[in-house]
Amino acid sequence: MGANTISAVELADGIADTPILGDGGAVAHPLLVVDLDDVPDSVIERAAEQARRSEHLLVGRFTGGSIDDTALAPLLESLDLTYSVGPDPRSSTVVGTDDLGASLSAFDTAVAQNPHASLVVRHVLRAADTVGVAAAIDVESLGYSTLQGGPEFLRWLDERGPRPLPPPAPADPVLVARVGDTLRITLNRPERRNAYGTQLRDALVEALRLAELDDSIERVVVDGAGPSFCAGGDLDEFGRTPDTATAHLIRTRGGAGRLVARLADRIEVRVHGHCVGAGIEIPAFASRVVAARGTVFRLPEVSMGLIPGAGGTASIPRRIGRWRAMHLFVTACALDAGRALAWGLIDEVSELG
């Protein structure tokens, strides 16, 4: 593992108060691991204050039993994430793991591969803690636009290679039906696993605006046709934005996230299959998310040199906390429906018909 490990005492004494940029603005490895075993109570508040000031990614490690029963809460809240041995504790600041070394190594490797994206997602998550949903979506999109011109996303595009644009939808990309006071919206591009591409996005926004404009619609149910609810952004469209300023306005003013957030009290989203990127970022704004058994969630954007761009840094932390969100964003690991339910990312696991 390339990251240095420091003690909480060293953190309190200012060891993490160092620049993250090297010569020519190059990002030095920005991750520090903080050993949280046997931390003296007298240094916790001081270490927490230093953590809030630090520009480094700070990830705690804990092996000393039940972390919920310690006095570490102020420090855990100030770190970006903590891994502890054993099952997930009650605190959303901590991710439980059976293999602490492997979890830290996976996080460290992900940061080393995409340090710019890892740092930007940290900045965006911390900023989103302090503002409302609409402003948080704006902050996310500005960070996303910044990374679109960065070396990590350009490397991902080069590795992906050129691709043709996706073909036009063979049928309506979104189906809309009303029964009484309920509006049913179905994502309908199963041949592309309902990827959140331009055609589907625009049709979904149009359908959601029906509910926003019609107060007699008391309930909105969103689901997806085919093997998966939504496989995230259409990768064949990535890298084709005319410019990053226009892309920012399209993401924020032309995307579905704001609308789902405004309609949250009336919306239930029913998900299944593989829900990637936007396939959970947008549902997480709704007041109720029901997942079929076997549903898997993943947020791979940082591994592409980006950050979530459909509102995920606003929606997901509001459900599971910014610490577990950081774990999902940076590592791009899969989250099964059972753990998603335990964390609060979804509200029910059901046999969906």
Per-residue pLDDT of the chain (353 residues; tens, 9 = 90+): 678 999 999 999 999 998 898 888 888 889 999 999 999 999 999 999 999 999 999 999 999 888 888 899 999 999 999 999 999 999 999 999 999 999 999 999 999 999 999 999 999 999 998 999 999 999 999 999 999 999 999 999 999 998 888 899 899 999 999 999 999 999 999 999 999 999 999 999 999 999 999 999 999 999 999 999 999 998 888 877 888 899 999 999 999 999 999 999 999 999 999 999 999 999 999 999 999 999 999 999 999 999 999 999 999 999 999 999 999 999 999 999 999 999 999 999 998 65
From the list 247, 239, 229, 344, the residue with the least C-alpha distance to 294 is 229
| Nearest-angstrom CA–CA distance, 297 and 278 | 10
What pTM does this model have?
0.95
Strand order in the sheet with 274-276: 274-276, 296-298, 335-336
Structure tokens at 24: 């020519």
Residue with tokens 């959970």: 280
From the list 79, 91, 152, 169, the residue with the least C-alpha distance to 117 is 152
